[in-house]
């Protein structure tokens, strides 16, 4: 009985220690170890990070810039979007392949800006030129099989005009019928084009880009062995779909378009936390890229006036510090109620991103293996703070921190 009372007393002391400071981490790993020995193990649900177990390689985090539909980003807005030191740090810009070659050059300035900060550009075609389609319109219809060569040349010319893309998609959401610029193609029809002309499109192929990351559609597309061999990245959108692991499809998976709610401001904190969890889910599903819809929008990472909104600060918690080429590594996804963790490394650098959905300060302990670190720079965003920072030292292979209520925290080793 006394032993149980002693454990309860220890638990109360731990909770009191967490509550007295909502923003500063609990620094001493030595103290954490002693507390853990004294209290019940389940009072400190430890998150385990294994830097020796590599999962996917990260391509990046980004957003769309469609010049013909929303106008281009200004020079200042490009810095805000892509700079990993003074901006959000987005490392992917997604653009539209225009129907007319006269519009190609308009996309180049923002593509160049993204590249200048170490990022890359990807492009999607909403429609082939009307003359190359079965219905003679940029709305609906299919690519004429007799126009396959011309369409591939059109895509390749765009790639050349903008100075090189990381990947190109021959069709955006081909499984979703709409009344705007589009094509309606079965998975087999997309595969037929890629099998025939995928090597002639100027850039690596990302496909088939279905509306809801529909696995049946993706699997049908990949069942064409020639198309699969010419496809470098499997991509799709998650409208109405919870991110999930596609299984062993043999290709990196990119999520190339989504937004959480167009009727809610990008500065709404609840909406931003929804976006944070969505990014976490995509990464935890084994996907290598997360791309928001418009970069500059009322509901986007940057407001129409060019200011970073809460969605943008949440994206920065990933994009600034998990740069292209980092590897996601094994870790406890959901070690404690309301706490979600992903971890990444590049060489000797470890980055840990932690979401705390709880309304109260939450203590989280960690242990790690496969990497040696001496401490962390800590960055965190809450409803009232944006990328606030401090640092702490680590001794041994464990540490613990207090997570602010409803927050996103990024730890970057030094």
The confidence score (pLDDT) of residue 23 equals 40
pLDDT in tens, 313-354: 999 999 999 999 999 999 999 999 999 999 999 999 999 999
Q: Please state the rounded mean pLDDT for residues 376-402.
A: 98
Distance CA 412, CA 414 (A): 7
Distance CA 38, CA 14 (A): 11
Look at residue 25 and tell me whether its pLDDT is greater than 60: no
Distance CA 116, CA 409 (A): 27
The confidence score (pLDDT) of residue 143 equals 98
Q: What percent of the chain has pLDDT over 90?
A: 89
The confidence score (pLDDT) of residue 44 equals 56
- Phi then psi for residue 156, to 5 deg, are -65, -40
pLDDT in tens, 241-259: 999 999 999 999 999 999 9
Distance CA 32, CA 398 (A): 8
- Closest alpha carbon to 52 in 278, 403, 370: 370
- Closest alpha carbon to 251 in 224, 226, 237, 233: 233
- Phi then psi for residue 111, to 5 deg, are -60, -45
User: Which 8-state DSSP code applies to residue 55?
Assistant: E
pLDDT in tens, 124-179: 999 999 999 999 999 999 999 999 999 999 999 999 999 999 999 999 999 999 99
Distance CA 392, CA 316 (A): 21
Torsional sign, CA 319, 320, 325, 329: negative
Q: Please state the rounded mean pLDDT for residues 301-310.
A: 98
Report the topology of domain 21-54+327-413. Immunoglobulin-like (2.60.40)
The pTM of this model reads 0.90
59-319 is a CATH 3.40.309.10 domain: no
pLDDT in tens, 261-270: 999 999 999 9
Q: Are strands 289-294 and 60-64 parallel, antiparallel or unpaired?
A: parallel
- Domain regions of the chain by residue span: 21-54+327-413, 59-319
Look at residue 36 and tell me whether its pLDDT is greater than 60: no
pLDDT in tens, 40-50: 344 459 999 99
DSSP 276-338: HHHHHHHHHTT-SEEEEEESBSTTSSB-TTS-B-HHHHHHHHHHTTS-TT-EEEEE-SS-BTT
- Closest alpha carbon to 141 in 161, 171, 118: 171
pLDDT in tens, 168-223: 999 999 999 999 999 999 999 999 999 999 999 999 999 999 999 999 999 999 99
Are the C-beta atoms of 119 and 92 separated by less than 8 Å?
Answer: yes
Kindly list the catalytic residues: 173, 257
> What pLDDT band is residue 28 in, cutting at 50, 70 and 90?
very low
Measured from the Cβ of residue 13, the count of other Cβ atoms closer than 10 Å reads: 13
- Phi then psi for residue 76, to 5 deg, are -65, -40
Measured from the Cβ of residue 72, the count of other Cβ atoms closer than 10 Å reads: 17
- Closest alpha carbon to 366 in 28, 38, 30, 48: 48
Q: Are strands 92-96 and 120-124 parallel, antiparallel or unpaired?
A: parallel
Torsional sign, CA 277, 278, 282, 285: positive
12 vs 87, which has greater pLDDT?
87
Q: Are strands 205-208 and 407-413 parallel, antiparallel or unpaired?
A: unpaired
User: What torsion, rounded to 10 degrees, do the Cα atoms 121, 126, 128, 130 define?
Assistant: -140
Look at residue 14 and tell me whether its pLDDT is greater than 90: no
The confidence score (pLDDT) of residue 358 equals 98
Q: Please state the rounded mean pLDDT for residues 103-111.
A: 98
Look at residue 35 and tell me whether its pLDDT is greater than 50: no
Q: Please state the rounded mean pLDDT for residues 16-42.
A: 40
Q: Please state the rounded mean pLDDT for residues 37-58.
A: 77
At a CB cut-off of 8 Å and minimum separation 6, what does 142 contact? Answer: 133, 134, 135, 183, 184, 185, 189
């Amino acid at each position: 009985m006394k032993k149980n009372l002693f454990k309860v007393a220890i638990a109360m002391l731990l909770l009191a220690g967490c509550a007295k400071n909502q923003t500063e981490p609990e620094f001493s790993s030595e103290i954490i170890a002693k507390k853990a020995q004294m209290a019940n193990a389940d009072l400190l649900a430890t998150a385990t990070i294994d830097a020796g177990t590599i999962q996917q390689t990260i391509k990046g985090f980004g957003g769309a810039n469609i010049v013909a539909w929303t106008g281009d980003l200004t020079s200042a807005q490009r810095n805000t979007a892509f700079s990993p030191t003074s901006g959000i740090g987005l490392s992917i810009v997604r653009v539209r392949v225009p129907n007319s070659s006269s519009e190609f050059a308009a996309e180049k300035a923002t593509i160049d800006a993204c590249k200048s900060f170490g990022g890359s550009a990807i492009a999607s075609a909403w429609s082939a030129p009307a003359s190359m389609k079965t219905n003679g319109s940029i709305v609906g219809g299919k690519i004429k099989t007799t126009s396959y060569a011309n369409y591939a040349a059109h895509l390749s010319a765009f790639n050349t005009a903008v100075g090189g893309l990381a990947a190109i998609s021959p069709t955006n959401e081909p499984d979703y019928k709409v009344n705007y610029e589009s094509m309606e193609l079965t998975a087999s029809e997309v595969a037929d084009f890629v099998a025939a002309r995928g090597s002639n499109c100027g850039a690596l192929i990302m496909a088939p880009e279905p509306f809801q990351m529909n696995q049946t559609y993706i699997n049908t597309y990949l069942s064409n062995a020639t198309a699969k061999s010419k496809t470098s990245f499997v991509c799709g959108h998650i409208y109405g779909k919870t991110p999930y692991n596609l299984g062993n499809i043999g290709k990196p998976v990119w999520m190339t378009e989504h937004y959480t709610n167009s009727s809610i401001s990008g500065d709404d904190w609840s909406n931003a936390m929804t976006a944070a969890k969505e990014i976490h889910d995509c990464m935890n599903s084994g996907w290598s890229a997360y791309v928001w819809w418009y970069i500059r929008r009322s509901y986007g990472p940057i407001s129409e006036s060019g200011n970073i909104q809460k969605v943008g600060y949440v994206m920065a918690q990933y994009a600034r510090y998990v740069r292209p080429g980092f590897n996601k590594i094994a870790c406890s996804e959901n070690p404690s109620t309301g706490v979600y963790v992903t971890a990444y490394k590049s060489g000797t650098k470890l980055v840990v991103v932690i979401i705390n959905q709880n309304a109260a300060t939450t203590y989280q302990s960690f242990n790690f293996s496969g990497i040696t670190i001496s401490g962390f720079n800590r960055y965190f965003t809450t409803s009232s703070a944006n990328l606030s920072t401090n640092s702490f030292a680590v001794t041994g292979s464990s540490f613990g921190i207090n997570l602010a209520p409803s927050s996103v925290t990024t730890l970057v080793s030094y």
